[in-house]
Chain A
Amino acid sequence: MAAVMEPQPSQQSETPQVEEDFPLKFCTVCASNQNRSMEAHLVLSLAKYPVISFGTGSAVRLPGPSIDKPNIYSFNSTTYDEMFQELKAKDQRLYTANGLLNMLDRNRHIKACPERWQDWKVGVPRLEANGAVGGGVGDGVKEGVVDVVITCEERCWDAVLDDLTNRNSPLNKLVHVINVDIKDNHEEAIVGGRGIRDLADMLTAAAKEERGKAAAEGRGFERGSVDARVPEVLSKWQEKWPQLPALWSVAYF
């Protein structure tokens, strides 16, 4: 397995002047906003990145007692806590054994409920408390817009690009949409979470480097942006994490 980047000491020691330290805001997306996107959400917010997360599916689907009896919940209304309580009451042994309770317990401490990508009102400020049990982690993204969207499955990447096209970009704001293919199980989600954290670190480092550039480098423009370097950074990252195949596109909100 590729090396896991340890948190950069410089990022942890600095004062939490979020705007200045973290030039990029992130959004993680998977199918149900339960496993992969939430693992990445947790990892990124523990590293103090501004992050929010979504699912692109039509409903939240969790494994049930058999393959044809999944537990289905609706996005944006059923909270992680309710799911947790319900499944615990249904069959505590089964749902402990397959890791669902553990996952829901983690999720309910991050935010209130799974959110659907297609229902996200981009640009509407997100100032309310995130409704997580015990206050949650991280600040979220108060302006309701992000710079980088990271999807965890090619299908979700397609859905995100397609949805952005259909929205007709009312904000005119550019966004990098990156896919990091992660298999939908707990172990892979943890590996994927680390990979995404590493990617966020690398992109942030590149953004800071560009920002530091002086006017000397040609044509009189100062303080570059990370945009031009995303393909390069992503491919460097891909070499480190070959087991998480990546995709990328520049789109607009």
Chain B
Amino acid sequence: MAAFQATSDAQLQQLGEARNLVLKDPGYWPQVLQGTLPLITSGAIEVRRWGADFLAETFSTPVVDARAKQELALACLDTLLRLSNETETGILKSVVQCSASVYPIVFRHICSNRNDADTWNKMVAIKSKILSLWDVAPIGVRICCIKFVQRVILVQSRGVTDPRLVDRSETSLATVPANHPLLSLPSLDAEAQGLLDRLLSILHEEHSEPTLITATLNNLAPLVKTRPPLAQRIIGAVLAFNPFARMPGTISVQDRLVMISVEKTVRVMLLNIMRNNQQTPFAGRISQHIQRLAQAKAELNDSFSRKRSATSQQDADSKRQKVDRISTTPRATPPPPAPLIDPLQGMQPGPVTFAKLFTLATDPALTSFDGQQLPLDLVLQIVIGSIYNVDQAKLDAAIAMVKARYEAVMANPPARAPGALPLAPSAPQPQTAEAGPPEPPNGMALVKAEAGGEGDEDVVQLQLGEYKLPPPVSLTTQQAQLASLNAMERMFSVIDDFEKTSLISRKSKLGVRRLAASSWDREGWISVLVRTATRGAQDAGVKSESGQAESLPDILRERLYQYIIADFRQRMDIAVAWLNEEWYNDKTRSSSGTPRQPQYQKWMMKVMDAIIPFLEVRDRLFMRTLSELPEIPVELLHKVKLLCLDPDRSSLGIQMLQYLAMFRPPVREQCVDVLEDLWRNRK
């Protein structure tokens, strides 16, 4: 054994020297490789490792020219085939990498050597071996398989059709001569399509490794750029891929790292495609998608705690994307319908309705559909979605056509139908924007049909003078106040609709530099309400007419107070946020010197008065509330003291005082006094 070891060591050393030689003088490379091929498969495992790496390096290196590589490729197929049965990850990685380099070379060779079935069979055997490894091998090998598959797809699909742009050095299906005995175009093409599907499915599987996902993404851009027939499918798959989709319950550092890395890889890839081809028909959707990703990422960064709502949002997004894709892809490719239908087609003489004026669809089923059956928000969604996706040229053409019709109608005014309503001056504006392409997909048609539905009884009238909206009536103070209160009530009703996240997880990680109420969640609305009460609605104007019932801020405060005590256990955080704001506002106002009654103490005592009688021993969370108050006056401590006198709840009271004494140095003395008094006088 030792002797064997020694020989293989010596062999390795020799091989290492040989490698150094060819690195220094690549001219020797073919010679050295030919010389080592027999050793590679027969030698010890160390030698086979070295051999696999050396093979991969040979076909990778730019210093060996293509002609030499072609000769070597044919010579080393046997070796590759034998090495592909090894079980070591490292060897397999090199074998697959090497095969990815060799495949186009051999394919080219077969194209010009019609009868070399032997070579082709070996290559096919290697290919099927690698494709079987793709499912079962360790990740490291599978990453290499992905590259191999990309090479196979490149070779076995059609490139640019424009003969001026064809790259002669590139291997593709166009290289295959007609009637080749070994290479059948349809089956090669079909195999490539199948492999592409399998490749893209990596993006949409439930539990794909992030390693495989990024590797796949980084392989797609070259396919899109050099294989236009495949572009649409690939881009569709990438746009439907949501890096944030599999957001787990709790986001670990690794989840976050993987998500932002995958997202960034998608973005770099899409930008690369866009930059290289500004004219791509997908440009609009790609840039939209990039924006959406940025948004989703911002949400992820903004707060880990809102992950659940973010996921559902994302899911909705990706679902919508899929729907979009289904409805938009069919019309991404057809050439623009140059000859638009005759503007006056379908326009019978006689009274013209809005519906007739704007209906460009020729399908009677679509024109007879009554859009009013649809719920308004669905219509809005359809309109917005359609406007985003509509082809600008088609829209312009459609607008021009409606304009032409309109002018034609104007030129031959029909006899006014009895009882017809004059045309509302502002009506045509939005509807013109809704007019879509001549053969609209479902969405567009619905919108137009709806426009038609409304307009059925309206008959086009003639003169459209300039129209100005009259200025709104100015509101009285009472009305304004009433409106404000209504708005406030709506905000309160919104808060309860949000899912309650736990107090701890909700805290934003961004610290003081974050913008308050930057996201429209529960916390955001609470901030808005609280700040409206404390700083927002100025009480200065009302103070002068103090005879008046109550100022708006006070009403708002009262409302907040009611809201908190209605369910104080769940709304303790609101109380803390509010009282802190009051205190802060008191401080800033008093330092600015405006005479003003401090609000903090008044409302704090009011809230505490309402809460304390209902506290139970289990309300330990209240201790936290107490400790988060910005200022604790002695009066409050006396309330707590009363709590201590209740035998049922005394332990809670004592604990509160104890905690305050321990962790709240400013009130330590007072707390100790209270405790001492309790000890001396009551127990």
Contact = CB atoms under 8 A, between A and B. Distances in A.
B147 A169 contact: yes
Interface string A193-217: 0000000000000000011000100
Of the candidates B23, B90, B92, B218, the one having the most CB atoms from chain A within 10 angstroms of its own CB is: B218
Interface stretch (B93-101, B414-422, B643-651): B93-101
Given A127-B23, A162-B268, A235-B253, A250 B140 contact: no
A167 to B, nearest CB: 9
Interface in A213-232: 215, 219-228, 230-232
A164 B264 CA distance: 15
Interface in A96-141: 121-125, 127
B151 interface: yes
B49 to A, nearest CB: 9
Contacts of A231: 210-211, 254, 257-258, 261
A166 B272 CA distance: 8
Contacts of B20: 142
Interface in B195-252: 209-211, 214-215, 217-219, 221-222, 252
Contacts of A47: none
Interface stretch (A33-41, A171-179, A184-192): A171-179
A224 B252 contact: no
Contact of B62 (A123, A174, A228, A249): A123
B261 A247 contact: yes
B260 interface: yes
Interface residues of B, number: 54
B254 A125 contact: no
A161 interface: yes
Contact of B143 (A162, A165, A227, A248): A227
A9 interface: no
Contacts of B151: 172
A234 B257 contact: yes
Given A143-B23, A164-B218, A250-B218, A230 B90 contact: no
A225 B137 CA distance: 11
B550 to A, nearest CB: 50
Given A162-B271, A165-B221, A247-B264, A172 B147 contact: yes
A227 B221 CA distance: 22
Contact of A125 (B63, B214, B260): B63
A173 B260 CA distance: 24
B366 to A, nearest CB: 44
Contacts of A249: 214, 217-218, 261, 264-265, 268
Contacts of B257: 231, 234-235, 238, 246-248
A86 interface: no
Given A121-B62, A221-B88, A228 B138 contact: yes
Contacts, number: 151
Contacts of B481: none
Of the candidates B56, B147, B211, B222, the one having the most CB atoms from chain A within 10 angstroms of its own CB is: B211
A235 B265 CA distance: 17
Interface in A65-104: none
A247 B260 contact: yes
Contacts of B258: 231, 235
A119 to B, nearest CB: 14
A252 B272 contact: no
Nearest to B100: A172
A228 to B, nearest CB: 3
Given A123-B63, A172-B100, A249-B218, A143 B57 contact: yes
B537 to A, nearest CB: 41
Interface in A137-171: 142-143, 145, 154, 157-158, 161-162, 164-166, 168-171
A251 interface: yes
Given A165-B269, A165-B272, A222-B87, A145 B60 contact: yes
B139 interface: yes
Contact of A161 (B137, B141, B268): B268
Contact of A174 (B147, B265, B271): B147
Nearest to A248: B261
Nearest to A142: B23
Contacts of B62: 121-124, 170-171
A172 B101 contact: yes
A65 B624 CA distance: 56
A225 B60 contact: no
B264 A173 contact: no
B313 to A, nearest CB: 24
Given A172-B60, A221-B89, A252-B147, A158 B218 contact: no
Nearest to A233: B254
Contacts of A142: 20, 23
B352 interface: no
Contacts of B272: 162, 165-166
A228 B93 contact: no
A232 B261 CA distance: 13
B136 interface: yes
B268 A219 contact: no
B602 interface: no
Contact of A225 (B56, B87, B140): B140
Contacts of A174: 93, 97, 143-144, 147, 215
A166 B87 CA distance: 34
Contacts of B137: 221
Contacts of A143: 23, 57
Nearest to B144: A174
A121 B151 CA distance: 21
B24 interface: yes
Interface in A15-43: none
Contacts of B139: 225, 227-228
Nearest to B148: A172
A232 B254 CA distance: 7
A220 B88 CA distance: 9
A170 B252 CA distance: 36
Contact of B215 (A168, A220, A225, A250): A250
Contacts of A232: 254
Contacts of B136: 219
B486 interface: no
Interface in B249-293: 252-254, 257-258, 260-261, 264-265, 268-269, 271-272
Contacts of B97: 172-174
A123 B60 contact: yes
B253 A250 contact: no
A60 B210 CA distance: 35
A227 B254 contact: no
Contacts of B147: 169, 172, 174, 252
Contacts of A158: 264, 268
B61 interface: yes
A170 B63 CA distance: 12
Contacts of B264: 154, 157-158, 247, 249
A223 B90 contact: yes
Contact of A127 (B24, B56, B269): B24
A174 B101 CA distance: 13
Nearest to B139: A228
Contacts of A125: 23-24, 26, 61, 63
B241 to A, nearest CB: 15
Interface string B143-162: 11001100100000000000
Contacts of A219: 136
Contacts of B143: 174, 227, 250
Contacts of B88: 221-223
Interface in B538-586: none
A238 B219 contact: no
Q: Which 3 A-B pairs have the closest CB atoms?
A: A225-B140, A228-B139, A235-B254
Given A123-B62, A168-B222, A223-B90, 7 more contacts: A161-B265, A165-B218, A172-B59, A246-B257, A248-B257, A249-B218, A252-B147
12 contacts: A162-B268, A166-B272, A170-B62, A171-B61, A172-B101, A225-B141, A226-B140, A231-B210, A231-B254, A232-B254, A235-B258, A249-B265
